[in-house]
A and B are shown apart, each in its own frame.
Chain A
Amino acid sequence: MQMQPRGFTLLAFALIFALALASVASAQPKTVGYPGLGIEPGTPGGPLTLALPDAPPRFFYYGEISQPSQLLSQQMFDSLVEYDLETYDLIPALARDWDISEDGTVFTFYLREGVTWHDGEPLTADDVVFTYEQIITNPEARAGDAAQFTFTVEGEPRQVTFEALDELTVRMTLPAPSPTFLLQQRFFIMPKHKLLPYSVEGGAEPADINDAWPTSVAPSEVVGTGPFRLSAYVPGQLVRLDRNENYWKVDDAGTPLPYVERLEYLIVPGTEAQTAQFLAGNLDQLNITGVQFPDFKSRELAGAGFSVIESPALFGSPPHLAFNFSAADPVLAELFSQAEFRRAMEYAVDRWRVIDDVYNGLAELPGTPTAPVNAAFYEDTTDLFNMYDLEAAAAALDALGLIDTSGNGVRNITPGRDLEFTLTYGSDSAVFTDIATIIQNDFAQVGVKVNLQGIMATQLLGTGMAGDFEAIIVALGNQPDPELRKPIWQPGGALYYWHRATHPETPGDPPNFDAMFDWERRIFEIFEQGSVEMDAEVRAANYREWQRLNAEYAPVIMIAKPGNVAAVYDHVGNFVYSLGVIPGYNPVPFYYRR
């Protein structure tokens, strides 16, 4: 379904067919079932209480990038396509089908019939066009994604265009083919009849779109097509969502989804408070980490009435150790730029100890950086890893001429200068603190002195981007397609923070190729090609080469890939792990109360 090139006649035929179908059936519910994930027909009814890690800043998804907004929007809105919960393939959602023209530039989406907004208004192609044209591609929308729809063709910026062909058909025309365009269409579709006054089309200024749906809005104003609708908000305490009785999904047995009557999102910031609320039975489910596993598992075994569930993770953020190629200190910058040095230090990173002691075994060896569970793109590079071996680390450092000449137990870069640097980590995270300490100890054993500097975990990436570090531990999220993480991993990209010399002088210009190593230039090309190459196999092969280059030259040292861990009370049926914030990956409609 993803790639079905069809001619114009076929398209016309499909249109006629859609129209014919429209006259036959008034609604097109979608049947979904995942026996492979252990999902069974559930029983309707009952509330579920889940945790919201913070008060939502507002209810308008495109007005602010924030975890609570994302979690809530996931339940209240739908996108054109969504993820298959089991395979991560793209499957129909609000679009029941789509066509892609042979040259890969024209996407036609056929909307599901009979889908209504929470206030009863029908969903139409106008809503979809409005969402894309007036919100997502509005550069002033704080959580929009205008850049995604601007292509550079022959050096000129060109825009994707959107048209409503009829009530239920939307056409998007791209200036150039894009292999990941469909993957991007997990944007939540918004109601035009509610948001028009905030849009340019409705006469407002572009930035006014951010004023939509503040938390003081009447709940009935916030309408989506999603499985739940906003029912009440008590500031700082609770968000209540009620079941959408007209939702368009049904289970295998024909029972309408979602099963539960109500979702109560209890606002509980902080791991300790969340743990207490879960153990007290006030939360039905909680995502936890491997660090908390022993405590939860022992309570489970003592008969607390809940289970701890683990699964390998695709999404989620594997931590890495980065050395600053462009460190302020020229001696360190020179050293950190050498792949031989980074590979030598890799010998002293005890991945298995991190997996066993920090994550309590609930992690695996990382990809570089693709998640091992990502069958489409993962390349097993573990044979290229320099696994923990302090003697090998010492020998490799010796070979680089880094020898302790002063006799103080620390190797010398120059006769008067110890091999010593600062390692920045997130001191408010138990995981980062433990990893940093393990690294500090092991590095000391091979004569490398590490001074720890703790900062807030939320500021790690900002500190990295500012180049204000020598070595740092950061965790960046995995996505199904490497293209989605291009700004991180493409040399010269906005988030390629460990080698800032590759950044362009002014943002938007081509990167500084002179500063790149040969392998970085190759990675740059792989990502450029990945954005335009339509052949899935060629893309995958290229990205596999990129992962090998990453393992061989270790721009960063990947440490471990933590798994999904969640605690769920036994009265919750059909639990499937989700981060909640990945648009289009939403198992909550299947949850039910036993």
Chain B
Amino acid sequence: MLVFLTRRILLFIPTLLLVSAICFFVIQLQPGSFTDRYLDDPRFSPETVARINAQLGLDRSPVEQYGRWVWGIVTRLDFGFSFFANRPVSTMIGERMVWTVVVALVTLGFAWLVAIPLGIYTALRRNGFTDAVASFVGYVGLAVPDFLVALLLVALVLSYGGTNVGGLFSPRYIAEPWSWAKFLDLLNHLWIPVLAIGTAGIATVMRQMRANLLDVLHADYVRTARAKGLAERRVINRHAVRTAINPLVSMAGLQLPELINGTIIASIVLNLPTIGPMLYDSLLAKDQYVAMTLLLFASLLLMLGNLLADLALAWVDPRIRYG
């Protein structure tokens, strides 16, 4: 087990290097430069741009820029600084991390809580009316992009005279200390992103759960369990569902990077103070170290998620063992 873990973690290093190198290369290919944003200001002068480029190290060769960035990470865990905010990237990410994690966890939790029972239910009543309706709704949820659902929800709230049309709080609560009213205000705002972003997730998980359970229901051991005279409830819950749910564990692992880049557009539309919009802005503005750190972080989460899923699988499924 330890050998397996060490090997997997060591494999992270070349992968992350490769990912970051490719990201850096692609960002360099993007037209324009960070200082383009200044051009229209009356204070603009070519000398200023030259100075700024020198301050930011943009006058060095791309290879040198990349090398220095990686060296900073390796030697002192310094992920560089944001050109725009003139602050270390790590503190900027930290500022938005809490809300990012909260929104992602609540959304994931909501999607799974709805999807798994629904998947079980539709599998047991295969080809029935409920199955058809749930499948249809599921497909629509998959097909409609989350940001569109978000926009529709906002339009709906507006047409009913609501004020919770974006962000996580009403303006008057944002800078206030926590209170019961502020918490209720949060809930009143949170349901829109949760519903908008969660819908697509529900469909995926539900379809997967339904298919798995259908496979399992025809397996020999389920028939054996029934033949033993176990109650149907027990057969389903104890034997069928426990096995059918395993593949979903690895799916959960793959959803970790969604924390950052899964919901960028919906987060922008809903004006959420999360990391997604930050990645989008940094890519547009060529704020390269912010963009690269976030992309690096996303790929690290993907690999970590994979690893955790593998470990969790080994734990829940007695058939899997790592040498």
Using CB atoms and an 8 Å cutoff, list the residues of chain A in contact with chain B: 47, 49, 54, 57-58, 63-66, 139-140, 142-148, 207, 210-211, 214-216, 231-232, 234-238, 240, 264, 266-270, 272-273, 276-277, 279-282, 317, 455-456, 458-459, 461-463, 465-466, 468, 476-477, 479, 484-485, 487, 494-495, 507-508
Contact = CB atoms under 8 A, between A and B. Distances in A.
B65 interface: no
Contact of B175 (A65, A232, A272): A232
Interface stretch (B37-45, B124-132, B314-322): B37-45
Given A142-B52, A276-B154, A458 B284 contact: yes
A57 B163 contact: no
B32 A282 contact: no
Interface stretch (B200-208, B212-220, B265-273, B293-301): B265-273
B95 A459 contact: no
Contact of A210 (B46, B86, B269): B86
A269 B269 CA distance: 9
Given A64-B84, A147-B45, A207-B55, A276 B166 contact: yes
Contacts of B87: 58, 214-216
Interface string B250-291: 000000000000000000111101000110010010000000
B284 A143 contact: no
B85 interface: yes
Given A237-B169, A268-B167, 17 more contacts: A66-B37, A140-B51, A146-B45, A211-B86, A215-B85, A266-B167, A270-B271, A276-B158, A277-B165, A279-B165, A282-B171, A458-B37, A466-B31, A476-B40, A477-B40, A487-B45, A494-B46
B165 A276 contact: yes
A289 to B, nearest CB: 17
Closest 3 CB pairs of A and B: A236-B273, A462-B36, A238-B174
A237 B42 contact: no
Interface of B: 31-33, 36-48, 50-52, 55, 82, 84-87, 91, 95-96, 151, 154, 157-158, 162-172, 174-175, 268-271, 273, 277-278, 281, 284
Contact of B86 (A63, A272, A281, A507): A63
A461 B269 CA distance: 26
B269 A272 contact: yes
A281 B174 contact: no
A65 B55 contact: no
A13 B2 CA distance: 88
A556 B87 CA distance: 40
B151 A272 contact: yes
A461 B51 CA distance: 20
B247 to A, nearest CB: 37
Contacts of B171: 49, 238, 264, 266, 282
Contacts of B273: 234-237
A292 to B, nearest CB: 15
A268 B87 CA distance: 22
B166 A273 contact: yes
Contact of A268 (B45, B157, B271, B281): B271
Contacts of A232: 175
A303 to B, nearest CB: 13
A508 B46 CA distance: 9
Nearest to B174: A238
A474 B44 CA distance: 17
A237 B31 contact: no
A65 B43 contact: yes
Contacts of A270: 268-269, 271
Nearest to B278: A236
Contact of A479 (B42, B84, B167, B174): B42
B45 A494 contact: yes
Contacts of A234: 174-175, 273
A494 B42 CA distance: 11
A579 to B, nearest CB: 13
B271 A58 contact: no
Contacts of A238: 171, 174-175
A64 B86 contact: yes
A494 B55 contact: no
Contacts of A147: 45, 47-48
A268 B157 CA distance: 18
Given A211-B86, A216-B91, A65 B51 contact: no
Given A214-B86, A236-B95, A462 B47 contact: no
A512 to B, nearest CB: 15
A280 B158 contact: yes
B47 A507 contact: yes
B44 A139 contact: no
A279 B84 contact: no
A593 to B, nearest CB: 14
A139 B55 contact: no
A487 B158 CA distance: 45
A269 B271 contact: yes
A507 B49 CA distance: 11
A458 B30 CA distance: 14
A233 to B, nearest CB: 8
Contacts of A144: 43, 48
B49 to A, nearest CB: 9
B163 A494 contact: no
Given A49-B171, A458-B284, A459-B36, A210 B55 contact: yes
A485 B42 contact: yes
A280 B162 contact: yes
Nearest to B287: A57
A569 to B, nearest CB: 13
Nearest to B268: A270
Nearest to A236: B273
A282 B44 contact: no
A465 B46 CA distance: 11
A65 B86 contact: no
Nearest to A483: B42
Given A237-B167, A237-B168, A282-B170, A65 B158 contact: no
Contacts of B85: 57-58, 64, 214-215
Contacts of B44: 65, 487, 494-495
A140 B50 CA distance: 10
B86 A57 contact: yes
Contact of B269 (A273, A317, A456, A508): A273
A325 to B, nearest CB: 19
5 contacts: A57-B84, A63-B86, A142-B55, A234-B175, A272-B151
B19 to A, nearest CB: 25
Given A236-B96, A237-B167, A58 B158 contact: no
Contacts of B43: 65, 143-145, 148
A273 B278 CA distance: 16
B305 to A, nearest CB: 25
B51 A273 contact: no
A231 to B, nearest CB: 8
B55 A146 contact: no
Contacts of B91: 216
Contacts of A145: 43
Contacts of B174: 234, 237-238, 264, 266
B36 to A, nearest CB: 4
Interface centre among A47, A236, A238 (most CB of B within 10 A): A236
A58 B86 contact: yes
Given A264-B171, A456-B284, A273 B271 contact: yes
